[in-house]
Amino acid sequence: MKIVLLGPPGAGKGTQAEFICKNFSIPHISTGDMLREAISAKSNLGTKAKAIMDSGKLVSDEVIIGLVKDRIKKDDCKDGFLFDGFPRTIPQADALQEAEINIDIVIELTLADEMIISRMSGRRIHQPSGRSYHVEFNPPLAEGKDDVTGEALIQREDDLPETVKKRLDVYWEQTNPLIVYYRSKSVQTDIKYIEIDGSRSLTEVSDQINHLLKG
C-alpha cells in the first residue's frame, strides 16, 4: 500500500499518519527526515543536498527523488509506505511516476481555513517542558498557567493568526494544483483518491480512513 497524504497545516496530518502507519505496518516517510538522515550519513546525495542548502537554495527535485528511491529500497518499505509532505508539486509527482514509483492511494484531509486558524492560534505552550494546551479544546486549569508548575504559557509565533494565514496561502498555492492532478489521475488510472473531513474528532477521522483503506 503506497499512500500520499495531503492536507493543510493544522488538519491533523501528523496524527493520522501515525495511526495509518501503525495500523498497516508501513513506514512514515517525510522529505525532511530523509534529508536529515542523508546529510548525517554523509551519503553522496546527502552531501549534494547539504551543499545546496548551505548556499541558501532549495534542494532540487532530482536530489529529492534520488533520496526517495534510496529510501523505498529499504526492507521496511516492502509492504508499502506513506509519503507526508511529498510530492509538493506536479513536477515532483511526475518525477515519481517516471521513476516507476506507483502510488496506490491519495488521502486528502480537508478543513476550512477558518477552523485551522482557530485550532492553531488557540495553542499555548509551556516552553520548558513542551506541554501543550488549547484555550478551547484543552485549556489549562488556570488561564495562561501551566498545570504542573504554574508558570506562564506562551503562544508561539508560528501559531499567531497572521502567521497561520500566510502558511495556508503558501499551502494552497503549492498544493491545489497537486490536488487537481491526483483527482484527475484517479479517473484516468488505478490511483484511489479519498477525501476525508478533518473537522471531526481524531477517532472518527481515523476510523473512516481505516474502513476505506481496508475496504
Task: Supply the residues annotated as catalytic.
Answer: 13, 88, 123, 156, 167
Helix, strand, coil percent values for the chain (each to nearest 5): 50, 15, 30
Among candidate residues 14, 37, 36, the one with its CA nearest the CA of residue 119:
14
Residue 40 makes CB contacts below 8 A (sequence gap 6+) with: 46
Q: Which residues of 99-191 form beta strands (DSSP E)?
A: 105-110, 123-126, 131-134
Distances in whole angstroms, Cα of residue 25 to Cα of each of 22, 63, 97, 188, 198: 5, 27, 24, 29, 23
Contacts of 137 (CB under 8 A, 6+ apart): 119, 122
Q: Which residue has the cell 478533518?
A: 198
